[in-house]
Amino acid sequence: MNSILKIEQLSHKYTSSWAIRDINMEIAQNGIVGLLGSNGAGKSTTMNIICGVLNHTEGDVYINGFDIRTQAESAKKEIGFLPQIPPLYTDLTVDEYLRYCAELRFIENGKIKSAVEEVKERCGIAHFSNRLIRNLSGGYRQRVGIAQAIIHKPKLVVMDEPTNGLDPNQLIEVRKLIKEIALDHAVLLSSHILSEIHILCKEIIMIEGGRLVFADTMDAFDNYMPSNSLMMRMENPPPIGDILNIQGVTRAELLTDKQVRVYFEGGEEITERLVVAGVQQNWQLREISLEKGQLDDIFKTLSSPQPNS
């Protein structure tokens, strides 16, 4: 069975500088894979190559088994692309624009109307069929952009910063739509915002300095760095000074009247010490749990300069 996306030893050079170098990745099934990296890391270059917008210098890219370089037409039929700035013609109505996109995607004339109606319904824009795109809000323009990317039912949908610039309400709705699309499409979603990737994705690929520095599940990413803090919930919390007196505790902060974050050094035997102290001093401990590595700290660690190979 073909992978939906397979990249082998992908590299691209602008003049004398390598934008990306020796990238390998694979998406084998539906769902959302996050492409994470700081600005200028090589994310957009990688996505442009995947979508056939940019002819790469070295390596191979396969979309559902088709080589993007030698079988470009077949490969591109399997791709839907939403660039960071949606490719909208704002003087067209929603219907006019989506019919145009359907024609570009070689959808048969007799099936264009049903394809347009289906994608409008799916993206929640059916009530704006005759509205000029320039009169839509940012959130609904983004929905139209998503609609053009999936109108031909591609195997792979590539989205570059799809929630950038949306207000909180629009953000929630577009996230929900992306999750629904991922039920029957593979979605590659790029962002430089850690929290956005964390909310939407179960797997993550991180590029930094043009090189792949991480590729695994979001749980593995969260656990990449060992925890040095834990949360305690108590019915009868002690003064902070009593917690600071416990061996291994470096800092403690009261979050609510019953919840404390404790920072520590050394092994995880700190948990046993806190439990023993809690019993002896009647803290009425209800919960104690290690915190996962902080996203920002993980990002800094992974994005530090990599040795050249």
Q: Is residue 256 part of a domain?
A: yes
CB atoms within 10 A of CB 11: 17
Q: Are strands 66-67 and 58-63 parallel, antiparallel or unpaired?
A: antiparallel
42 and 130 both lie in a single domain: yes
Q: Which two tokens stand for residue 98?
A: 């989506």
Q: Is the pLDDT of residue 306 over 60?
A: no
Q: Is the pLDDT of residue 169 over 70?
A: yes
Q: Is the pLDDT of residue 156 over 50?
A: yes
The number of domains in the chain is: 2
DSSP 3-state assignment of 273? helix
73 and 174 both lie in a single domain: yes
If you ran DSSP here, which 8-state letter would residue 248 be given?
A: T
Provide the β-strand partners of residue 1. none
27 contacts 77 by C-beta, under 8 angstroms: no
Least confident of 29-38, 70-79, 90-99, 297-306: 297-306
128 and 32 both lie in a single domain: yes
Mean pLDDT on 181-208 = 90
Length of the chain: 309
Highest mean pLDDT among 1-5, 183-187, 289-293: 183-187
pLDDT tens digit sequence for 205-236:
999 889 999 999 988 887 766 667 888 999 99
212 and 272 both lie in a single domain: no
- Confidence at 108, pLDDT banded by 50, 70, 90: very high
pLDDT value of residue 293: 59
* Of 223 and 120, more confident: 120
Distances (CA, A) of 250 to 43, 177, 262, 265, 267: 39, 44, 8, 7, 13
Query: What whole-number percentage of the chain has pLDDT above 70?
Result: 94
Q: Is residue 308 part of a domain?
A: no
**CA-atom Rg of the chain in angstroms:** 24
Q: Is the pLDDT of residue 86 over 80?
A: yes
Q: Is residue 305 part of a domain?
A: no
pLDDT tens digit sequence for 8-20:
999 999 988 999 9
135 and 237 both lie in a single domain: no
Please identify, among 183, 207, 222, the residue that sits at the C-terminal boundary of a domain: 222
* Of 67 and 202, more confident: 67
Q: CA torsion angle for 249, 250, 253, 259 (degrees, to 10)? A: -20
* Of 69 and 272, more confident: 69
Spatial distance between the Cα atoms of 307 and 141, rounded to a whole number of angstroms = 42
Task: Give the global pTM.
Answer: 0.76
225 exposed, middle or buried (CB, 10 Å; 0-12, 13-18, 19+)? middle
pLDDT value of residue 31: 95
Q: Is residue 303 part of a domain?
A: no
CATH number of the domain within which 34 lies: 3.40.50.300
Cα-flanking dihedrals φ and ψ of residue 138, to 5°?
-60, -40
Tokens 């190979």 sit on residue: 309
Q: Which domain holds residue 234?
A: 229-291
Spatial distance between the Cα atoms of 211 and 213, rounded to a whole number of angstroms = 6
Average model confidence (pLDDT) across the chain? 90
Concatenating the DSSP letter of every residue in 19-80 gives EEEEEEEEE-SSEEEEEE--TTSSHHHHHHHHTTSS--SEEEEEETTEETTTSHHHHHTTEE
90 and 206 both lie in a single domain: yes
Provide the β-strand partners of residue 212. 207
If you ran DSSP here, which 8-state letter would residue 98 be given?
A: H
107 and 37 both lie in a single domain: yes
Q: Is residue 42 part of a domain?
A: yes
Q: Is residue 261 part of a domain?
A: yes
Residue spans of beta strands (DSSP E) within 193-297: 203-208, 211-217, 229-234, 249-254, 259-264, 285-290
Tokens 């490969």 sit on residue: 75
Least confident of 23-37, 134-148, 194-208: 194-208
Spatial distance between the Cα atoms of 205 and 186, rounded to a whole number of angstroms = 14
86 and 150 both lie in a single domain: yes
pLDDT tens digit sequence for 256-300:
889 999 988 876 678 888 999 999 999 999 888 877 656 666 777
Q: Is the pLDDT of residue 180 over 90?
A: yes
pLDDT tens digit sequence for 49-65:
999 999 999 999 999 99
Q: Is the pLDDT of residue 153 over 90?
A: yes
188 and 278 both lie in a single domain: no
122 and 243 both lie in a single domain: no
Q: Is residue 82 part of a domain?
A: yes
279 and 215 both lie in a single domain: no
Q: Is the pLDDT of residue 309 over 50?
A: no
CATH number of the domain within which 266 lies: 3.30.70
Query: What whole-number percentage of the chain has pLDDT above 90?
Result: 66
Q: Is the pLDDT of residue 201 over 70?
A: yes
Tokens 């050249």 sit on residue: 308
17 contacts 174 by C-beta, under 8 angstroms: no
pLDDT value of residue 170: 86
Tokens 């019915």 sit on residue: 235
* Dihedral of alpha carbons 120, 125, 131, 134, sign: negative
